[in-house]
Structure 1
């Protein structure tokens, strides 16, 4: 006996719709490896309809006074709290995430982030007016850019949707967002929440739209003539493709891509505390985090002690069922990702040593054991490339100069951390580390008020903070003659 699959739909101009041509794709629960839903595999007709709805809604949404947009976002945040258990269930099924961790680690920050941008909606200001030429006054207008095409990833589909729609809507833009083809469920639920709020407050339905689909759907969105901006959180390859596609009509592009965060541990560090925090930051969400603490550089004098402690922490870290409150993380998101992580382990060079883990676990789903690999060299594949799994690598460095050279010696530049009791050393390292974020004696905390974004192949543009809000605005100079 087979169980009927749940039917997910696009959300376009305030209505839930199937793909125009009826095509669908199966959505798999990574904790079981079994499909639980179908979602539209949207094509050009669906993208056209969503863009038309967003374009039609833009003038009215743009022209609202900021306080009115703030009311909408505040009500959306309230509704997220009211429907938290639905969101938790959807995200857990989407990703196989432990229910308790979605409840404690995702819902509260998401609600806070929406409320932060609700406040930012009332800060659309430019520099003060002034006379910079005799007889003329200049003012600066800050305006929304228009329709935003947004593509969200599968590692945090619900939270990344918030990071995209909240600043965009706050600034007066309208949105067409595409979730990953493997994780559409929570974004479709978010559409139901936002749509109900827009209806209740009497705003245009086309302000927020969701189009499900695959890479081709995303390409159609980015290349569409309507959006003024394309935003993506995803792989470096996907970011490059988006930048190339958007260049054809010079769209603005906002890219948050991969990471390979160095975790630089000096010999004066409290090893037990560092290991505890680094293991959590490396294995949380199965290491499927662009900022994950998965590339550890340890000063040689404490290397062996540190590796032994980290391997012990890995062996005590638990992965498993979504309803088990003792697990730190769930499965990898999909079969392809499991294959990728396995491939890194299978291709390890002879000088590498697996200190813990290194294998798939469980009889079903895409679970992978917490893993520690030591004995690595700077040019090894697993050091240079993003694994995006519960795998922590360890290298041994001699001095501060070598630590900086190796830390910066990758193509990514999103996040990093330094572990030391020496304040001067921490300040020197924070200056020279070429990453968008440097944590000191911690790794991975984020707050709505501070920017998140990197350099180099980690992309450009910022999420969160006033800087993230600014990315969804444009600047206009207005000059008026004083002659009347």
Structure 2
């Protein structure tokens, strides 16, 4: 007996639509490894329709006063809270995430972030007007950019969607958002909610649009002549392709492309507390987090003690089904990701040691055991490249200089942390570490008021904060003669 699959649809100009040519792709629940829905495999006609809708809606939305844009976002935040259980269920089916942790760790920050950008809508700033040339007054206008093409990743489909649409709408832009082909369900539900609020407030239908599809769909969005800005969270390879494509017509580009966060642990730290916090920050969401605490550097004097304690903590962490309240994380997102994580472990050099884990869990779905690997060298593949799974590596360092060299010795530069009781040392490391974020004696907390974004191959542009809001505006100089 064949179970009928749920049908997800694009959201274009206020209407749910199938792909113009009827093509679909199956959406798989990573807990079971079985399809539960179909989603449009959108082609050129669908991208054209979404861009046309966003372009048509832009002039009216651009001219809406900030207070009204704030009102829209506040009502979206309220609606997300009211329909939180539906969003949680959709996200869990998308990703296999634990229901309880999605309820406590994702919905509240998402709602808070939307409300932050609602306030930011009314805080457009520029340098004060003044006479910088005799007889002439200059002032600055901050304006929306236009249509924004946005591509969200599969590790946090809902939250990364919020990080993209909230500042864009707050600044007066219109949006075409594409979720990952493996996780469209929660984004389609968000479209229903946002569309309802837009309609209730009488705003243009095309302000917010969702197009489902694969890499080719995303490529068509980036190459399309309408968007003035492209924002993507994804792999370095994807970011490079987007930047190259967008350069052909000088689109503005916003890239968040992953990380390889160093976690630098000095000998004076509280080892038990550090192990507890680092293991949680490393294994949360199955390590599928660009800022995950998965590359630990430990002073040689406490290395063996730390590795033993971390391996013990990891062995006690549980992965399992979303409704199990005792699990810290669920499955990897898809079969390809399971193969990638397994491949890193299978290719470990002879000098590496798997302290715990290192294998798939069960024969259904894409679960992987919490894993700790020690004995590694700086140029090992697993140190240099992003695993994006529940794998924590541990290296030993001899002094502060070596710790800094190891920490900075990768191509990523998104986030990092320092663990020490020595304030001066913490300040030296916070200056020396070449990462967009440096946490001290903690790892992974984010707040709406502070920027998130990296350097080097982790990309450019900021999410969250006033800096993230500014990225969705353009600056215009206006000069007027005082002679009348």
Per-residue deviation, 1:354 = 0.2
> Structure 1, residues 303-328: CA drift from partner, whole Å, max 9, x if none?
00000000000000000010001100
Specify the alignment match of 1:419 in structure 2: 419
In structure 2, how many angstroms separate the alpha carbons of the residues matched to 1:245 and 1:363? 41
Q: Distance in 2 between matches of 1:64 and 1:313?
A: 53
- Tell me how far apart the structure 2 counterparts of residues 186 and 381 of structure 1 sit (CA, whole Å): 34
Map of 1:133-148 to 2, 5 A cutoff? 133-148=133-148
Give the structure 2 partner of residue 210 of structure 1.
210
- Asked if residue 27 in structure 1 is aligned to residue 27 in structure 2, the reply is yes
Q: Report the counterpart of residue 299 of structure 2 in structure 1.
A: 299
Distance 1:202 1:319 in 2: 45
Q: Shift of residue 127 of structure 1? A: 1.3
Aligned match of 1:476 = 476
Q: Residue in 2 aligned with 1:398?
A: 398
SS of the equivalent of 1:78 reads helix
SS at match of 2:260: coil
C-alpha distance in structure 2 between counterparts of 1:366 and 1:259, whole Å: 22
CA deviation vs aligned residue, 1:62-114 (integer Å, no higher than 9, x gap): 00110000000000000000000000000000000000000000000000000
1:109 maps onto 2:88 in alignment: no
Counterpart mapping for 1:430-445 below 5 A: 430-445=430-445
Structure 1 CA distance, aligned partners of 2:111 and 2:317?
29
Give 1:309's aligned residue.
309
SS in 1 for 2:121: helix
CA displacement at 1:126 relative to structure 2? 1.4
Counterpart of 1:446? 446
Distance, in Å, in 2 between the alignment partners of 1:216 and 1:137 is 49
**What secondary structure sits across from 1:158 in the alignment?**
helix
How does 1:193-272 map onto structure 2 within 5 Å? 193-272=193-272
Give the whole-Å Cα distance in 1 for the aligned partners of 2:377 and 2:128: 54
2:119 maps to what in 1? Answer: 119
2:467 is equivalent to residue 467 of structure 1: yes
CA distance in 2 between partners of 1:457 and 1:447 (Å): 23
Partner in structure 1 of residue 346 of structure 2? 346
| Cα distance in 2 for residues equivalent to 1:214 and 1:363 | 27
Name the CA distance, whole Å, in 2 between partners of 1:236 and 1:30: 24
What is the CA RMSD across the aligned residues, in angstroms?
Answer: 0.3
After TM superposition, give the deviation of residue 362 of structure 1 in Å. Answer: 1.4
Q: Distance in 1 between matches of 2:403 and 2:58?
A: 50
- Partner SS, residue 368 of structure 1: coil
In the TM superposition, what is the alpha-carbon distance from 1:125 to its structure 2 partner? 2.5
1:317-374 superposed Cα distances (whole Å, 9 cap, x missing partner):
0000100011000000000000000000000000000000000001210000000000
Q: Which residue of 2 aligns with 1:185?
A: 185
Alpha-carbon separation, structure 2, partners of 1:325 and 1:338: 23
Where does the alignment leave 5 or more consecutive residues of structure 2 unmatched? none
Residue aligning to 1:386: 386
Q: Distance in 2 between matches of 1:401 and 1:408?
A: 11
The DSSP-based 3-state class of the residue aligned with 1:301 is coil
Equivalent-residue separation in structure 1 for 2:321 and 2:454 (angstroms) = 33
- Partner residue, 1:166: 166
How far apart in 2 are the matches of 1:126 and 1:224? Answer: 31
1:4 aligns with 2:4: yes
Question: What is the match of residue 75 of structure 1?
Answer: 75
Of 121-130 and 302-311, deviating more is 121-130
TM-score of the two chains, using structure 1 as the length reference:
1.00
Number of aligned residue pairs: give it.
Answer: 484
Matched, 1:333 2:333: yes
Q: Which residue of 2 aligns with 1:92?
A: 92
State the Cα distance separating 1:448 from its structure 2 match. Answer: 0.2
Distance, in Å, in 2 between the alignment partners of 1:225 and 1:123 is: 30
CA–CA separation in structure 1 for the residues paired with 2:386 and 2:125: 39
Q: Counterpart of 1:157?
A: 157
* Structure 1 residues 32-90: Cα deviation after superposition (integer angstroms, max 9, x where no partner): 10000000000000000000000000000000110000000000000000000000000
How far apart, in 1, do the equivalents of 2:406 and 2:82 lie? 47
Alignment partners' CA distance in 1, 2:425 and 2:129: 44
Structure 1's consecutive aligned runs of 4 or more residues displaced over 6 angstroms after TM superposition are none
Instruction: List per-residue Cα deviations over 1:391-442 (Å, max 9, x = no partner).
Output: 0000000000000000000000000000000000000000000000000000
Structure 1, unpaired ranges of 5+: none
2:375 matched residue in structure 1:
375
| d(CA) in 1 for partners of 2:14, 2:112 | 25
Equivalent position SS for 2:330 = coil
Could you tell me how far apart the structure 2 residues matched to 1:31 and 1:241 are? 31
What is the TM-score normalised by the length of structure 2? 1.00
Once the two structures are superposed, the pairs formed by residues 28-43 of structure 1 within 5 Å of their partners are: 28-43=28-43
Listed one character per residue, the Cα deviations across residues 424-470 of structure 1 (whole Å, up to 9, x for unaligned) are 00000000000000000000000000000000000000000000000
- Matches of 2:422 and 2:413 in 1, distance apart? 24
SS at match of 2:122: helix
SS at match of 1:140: strand
